[in-house]
Amino acid sequence: MIHPPRLLLYLLWLFALLPLIVAQPNRASKLLVISVDGLDYRYLRDADKLGLKIPNLRKLLREGEVTEGIEGAFPTVTWPSHTTMITGVAPAQHGILGNRRPKDEGGDYYWDVDLLKTKTLWHATHKAGLKSAAITWPVTVNAAIDFNLPEYFQRRNGGGMDLRSIESKATLGLVDKITRVFPSFAQEWMDDRTRTLATVYLLKYEKPHLILLHLVDHDAEAHHNGPFSREANAMIEYSDELIGQMLAAAPKDLVVALVSDHGFERADKVVDVNQILKQESIAGTVEMRPGLLTANDARVVEWLRAASTANKHGIGREIPKEEVQRFAPSLTKATAVFESAEHFLFGPAKTGEVFSEPTERGVHGLWPGRKDYAASLILWGKGIKPARKPRASMLAIAPRLAKILGVQWPN
């Protein structure tokens, strides 16, 4: 029995601690983030039309919270997008501006975590005293991640990366631990099969609170053969098989976040708009990116608007100023910005020529607001109710994942 004065002191002490107790996050679930590189939302939306045999993804679609497309961050390429998904800020803020660094910085990949300008989901996890893991997630070399197989390679084979290079930057001894459980893990190339073995190992034996997994093989297939092709569809079905293996190893308190970094489009022709301007005796030039034109000269802008209205030369929609401001404020200095028409890209051709063949049949890096060009997001598992959510921004993913983990979000 507590004596009344002591009871009063106890209640005062408890009242003083109450704000700290309330402020503690609710550690609701462990979280596995599976990024299927290039999983355009249309693979999920149009699965029946495409005839995809994806029973595990269909289970997530049926039982999970599905967002009807994720608008990417500009530029919509792998390394900036993966960093946006775990920081909640645009590339201009987190500092990862492309897959590779500018030429004046050497042009190498953004390997090292020191290049980040803001905190990530693994920082929030670490601050909460929880353990994290990453498997070929971009910009994780030297990261404070407990079980780390970073995206780092000296050689590539499609979506595969040479394991020796990864091991040189990995958590000491982790490759050996996985290999003792799964001897075939130590093959030359780390591909989606062995990435899955690593994930199953972590789920069963190390049990971190957060796993960031980057599956790469579909992206390589879609670049080579085009998205929604027989080959790319087969790789989505293979990804589904691998996801099934992860679900079979998942603990009951796990939440799975299925994400992707960008959509995908088929490219048929590359148009050199500057060659057309020259042929039509229009003084001035445009700045060409694969899916984007910017122009400042008044006569050139007038010509572009006419071509856009007439659906000529692969010139698509003029992007409204407010949309440019939302996705790429640095481009607002241009008088006008145009996206490419469907299946067209912009780029230089041989002198005197207008059209050329694309080097890859499948492309991304296109404008984030492009119609039907969207990434994916499904949440499934403990505490997640079936729901359909409207199209959303990639910037909204990180704070939602932090909430699922029950960690405080700094950004």
The CATH number assigned to the domain with range 30-265+369-405 reads 3.40.720.10
Burial of 381: CB neighbours in 10 Å, binned 0-12, 13-18, 19+: buried
Band of the pLDDT at 154, cuts 50, 70, 90? very high
Instruction: Assess contact for 32 and 247: CB atoms under 8 A.
Output: no
Band of the pLDDT at 274, cuts 50, 70, 90? very high
pLDDT at 9 over 60: no
Residue 94 CB contacts under 8 Å (≥ 6 apart), including other chains: 80, 83, 84, 87, 116, 117, 118
pLDDT at 21 over 60: no
- 78-87 vs 397-405: helix axis angle to the nearest 10? 50
Q: Which two tokens stand for residue 150?
A: 């970073």
Residue 28 is predicted with a pLDDT of: 57
> CA separation (Å) from 342 to 72, 105, 239, 269?
18, 34, 27, 10
Q: What is the spatial distance between Cα 22 and Cα 303, in angstroms, rounded to a whole number? A: 61
Residue 282 CB contacts under 8 Å (≥ 6 apart), including other chains: 299, 300, 303
Considering the four listed CATH numbers 3.30.1360, 3.40.1000, 3.40.50, 2.60.120, the one that applies to the domain covering 268-359 is: 3.30.1360
Helices (H), 160-229: 163-169, 174-181, 192-201, 217-225
How many CB atoms are closer than 10 A to CB 3? Answer: 9
DSSP state of 202: I
Query: pLDDT tens digits for 298-342?
Result: 999 999 999 999 999 999 999 999 999 999 999 999 999 999 999
Q: What is the spatial distance between Cα 187 and Cα 135, in angstroms, rounded to a whole number? A: 16
Residue 351 is predicted with a pLDDT of: 79
Q: What is the spatial distance between Cα 215 and Cα 195, in angstroms, rounded to a whole number? A: 7
155-179: average pLDDT: 98
pLDDT at 346 over 50: yes
> Which residue in 141, 86, 84, 87 sits closest to 109, CA to CA?
141
What are the φ and ψ backbone dihedral angles of 276, each rounded to 5 degrees? -65, -45
Give the CA diameter of the chain.
97
- Strand 344-346 to strand 65-71: parallel, antiparallel, or no bridges (unpaired)? unpaired
Residue 108 CB contacts under 8 Å (≥ 6 apart), including other chains: 100, 101
pLDDT at 361 over 50: yes
Q: What is the spatial distance between Cα 62 and Cα 409, in angstroms, rounded to a whole number? A: 29
Band of the pLDDT at 25, cuts 50, 70, 90? very low
171-177: average pLDDT: 98
Higher pLDDT, 411 or 187: 187
Percentage of the chain modeled with pLDDT above 90: 91
Helix (H, G, I), strand (E, B) or coil at 172: coil
Instruction: Assess contact for 375 and 41: CB atoms under 8 A.
Output: yes
Residues constituting the chain: 411
Residue 381 CB contacts under 8 Å (≥ 6 apart), including other chains: 29, 64, 250, 254, 255, 256
pLDDT at 8 over 60: no
Residue 209 is predicted with a pLDDT of: 97
> Which residue in 184, 183, 109 sits closest to 139, CA to CA?
109
**Boundaries of every domain in the chain:** 30-265+369-405, 268-359
